[in-house]
Amino acid sequence: MTLSLAPAHEAARAEFRTFVDEHVVPHAGAWHRAQSTPPEIIGRLAERGYLGISIPANFGGGGKDAVTLGLLAAELGRGCSSLRSLLTVHTMVAQAILRWGSRAQKETWLPQLASGARIGALALSEPGVGSDAKSVTTAIEPDGGDLVVDGHKSWITYGHVANLFLVFGRTAEGPTAVLIERERPGLRTDPILDLIGIRASMTASVRLEGCRVPEGNIVGRRGLGISQVASLALDLGRYTVAWGSVGIQRACVEACVAYTGRREQFGVPIKEHQLVRQMVTNMFTDLHASELLCMEAGRLRDVKDPSALAATSMAKYFASTAAVRAANDALQLHGANGAAGDYPLQRYLGDAKIMEIIEGSSQIQQITIAEYAYQEHARSPGIPSGTDSWRKS
Ligand SMILES: Cc1cc2nc3c(=O)[nH]c(=O)nc-3n(C[C@H](O)[C@H](O)[C@H](O)COP(=O)(O)OP(=O)(O)OC[C@H]3O[C@@H](n4cnc5c(N)ncnc54)[C@H](O)[C@@H]3O)c2cc1C
């Protein structure tokens, strides 16, 4: 059972699926073990226009809608969550520039991001700053018409290969976003290895020591780096992570349906045992529910409905937690083989766990979603809580 889509979206999904089956699925295990993404596959993503898929055509991109971006994230997530995370962070940087950047920034950077000449990375987290992003400490100080940036950014996805960093620091006015090119003196990256998931994502820490950039590299207004620039980027990141979690779930379902049909115990394929079917049922239902939540979030984004924000948080929360459940059960259904490195199940489980942490952890989504629930109730109280008036209708 797959989502029913409009013809253009169906065609896009078929194209992405073929690409991922041919160029990603056969190699993802090797990339995971090597903890590295080969430049050739990044080049292929760029050639296909996937890195610029949602950058407008007048800036050299594909100009595709949010649903198409989601379908690409789902297919990449099915094959390799690290590559999906490249799409995520690169697109976050591009969309932040598109929405909040100056005209000169758009004209300079968007064509380079669209073609893959520049790989974008988003540098928000610090060793002491995670969920509470507005507490960033990286200093951005004015100095003779330039800015000088000093700080330590941590967990930066594809930070080891990116060459355009959207860095969040602090000016006198408050949190502020600034673009820093890799070639600027004073910027250094060090790889972070042995992560539980997205192990091919070339995650790095970024050190900024007296790194000088022109004033024109500030994105948006000083003091509004988190409330405007990071908020937009994180919402987009959440959206693609939700779809990427759908991809992990689909990989788990496909692996389990195939394996339980051929593995025999007690004289029958294990799919004949009801407790096995129960796990497949839960996995398949969660997958479909996740796809529907993601599709709803995508459609709302495409018509610029403000409720897309809440829909995206719910899609990310549900799909990422469902991906952990699916990967956990999928590994269980593969028994000892699930625990072995020549099957992809342990990769799926590690990748799924990361989905619950990044772009706002599950707990942060829960806090946010509850807030939306109370806001909605305040706007339209409906049936008073604590009554059983529904019984009387
Ligand atoms: C593989 C990977 C890639 C990443 N890529 C990037 C990247 O590209 N760029 C970037 O800037 N960052 C990146 N990050 C960092 C990521 O954004 C943070 O890990 C995330 O924001 C959570 O922050 P933290 O890890 O510091 O956890 P903390 O904020 O310290 O939270 C620890 C725990 O406490 C919980 N918690 C925190 N506050 C509350 C609260 N108010 N109520 C209830 N529970 C709470 C959290 O949910 C979590 O379970 C990445 C992380 C990983 C693991």
pLDDT per residue as tens digits for the range 109-157: 999 999 999 999 999 999 999 999 999 999 999 999 999 999 999 999 9
Burial of 98 (0-12, 13-18, 19+ CB in 10 A): buried
Does any domain span residue 384? no
Look at residue 381 in the predicted model and tell me its pLDDT. 74
Centre of ligand 1 from the C-alpha of residue 130, in Å: 5
216 lies in the same domain as 281: no
191 lies in the same domain as 238: no
| Span 225-267, pLDDT tens digits | 999 999 999 999 999 999 999 999 999 999 999 999 999 999 9
Cα 155 to Cα 8: distance, rounded to the nearest angstrom: 36
Task: Name the residue range of residue 357's domain.
Answer: 226-377
CB 294 within 8 A of CB 242: yes
Look at residue 4 in the predicted model and tell me its pLDDT. 87
Mean pLDDT in residue range 23-32: 98
Is 208 close to ligand 1, i.e. is its CB under 6 Å away?
A: no
Among 196, 222, 248, residue at a domain's last position: 222
Show Cβ contacts of residue 285 under 8 Å, excluding neighbours closer than 6 positions: none
Look at residue 141 in the predicted model and tell me its pLDDT. 98
Look at residue 211 in the predicted model and tell me its pLDDT. 98
CA-CA-CA-CA torsion sign (341, 25, 235, 50): positive
Does any domain span residue 390? no
Is 358 close to ligand 1, i.e. is its CB under 6 Å away?
A: yes
Look at residue 391 in the predicted model and tell me its pLDDT. 41
75 lies in the same domain as 203: no
Mean pLDDT in residue range 34-53: 98
Does any domain span residue 385? no
State the pairing for strand pair 174-181/218-219.
antiparallel
153 lies in the same domain as 76: no
Mean pLDDT in residue range 334-359: 97
Does any domain span residue 169? yes
Instruction: Read off the CATH number of the domain in which 296 is found.
Output: 1.20.140.10
47 lies in the same domain as 125: no
Instruction: Read off the CATH number of the domain in which 45 is found.
Output: 1.10.540.10
Does any domain span residue 28? yes
Query: Which residue in 75, 291, 356, 359 is the catalytic one?
Result: 359
CA-CA-CA-CA torsion sign (187, 233, 248, 11): negative
Is 363 close to ligand 1, i.e. is its CB under 6 Å away?
A: yes
Domain count, the chain: 3
For residue 393, pLDDT beyond 60:
no
Q: Is 22 a catalytic residue?
A: no
179 lies in the same domain as 198: yes
Mean pLDDT in residue range 284-308: 98
Instruction: Read off the CATH number of the domain in which 215 is found.
Output: 2.40.110.10
DSSP string, 234-265: HHHHHHHHHHHHHHHHHHHHHHHHHHHHH-EE
Does any domain span residue 392? no
Other C-beta atoms closer than 10 Å to the C-beta of 132 total: 10
Cα 172 to Cα 2: distance, rounded to the nearest angstrom: 51
Report long-range pairs for 185-192 (Cβ below 8 Å, ≥24 apart). 185/211, 185/212, 186/149, 186/210, 186/211, 186/212, 187/211, 189/156, 189/159, 189/160, 191/160, 192/154, 192/155
| Span 44-100, pLDDT tens digits | 999 999 999 999 999 999 999 999 999 999 999 999 999 999 999 999 999 999 999
Look at residue 339 in the predicted model and tell me its pLDDT. 96
234 lies in the same domain as 325: yes
Hey, is 90 helix, strand or coil? helix
Show Cβ contacts of residue 259 under 8 Å, excluding neighbours closer than 6 positions: 333, 334, 337
Does any domain span residue 343? yes
Q: Which of 81, 90, 229, 358 to mutate to test the pocket of ligand 1 (most atoms within 8 A of CB)?
A: 358
CA-CA-CA-CA torsion sign (106, 108, 113, 115): positive
For residue 383, pLDDT beyond 60:
no
150 lies in the same domain as 172: yes
167 lies in the same domain as 181: yes
Query: Whole-number mean pLDDT of the chain?
Result: 96
Look at residue 392 in the predicted model and tell me its pLDDT. 40
Is 361 close to ligand 1, i.e. is its CB under 6 Å away?
A: yes
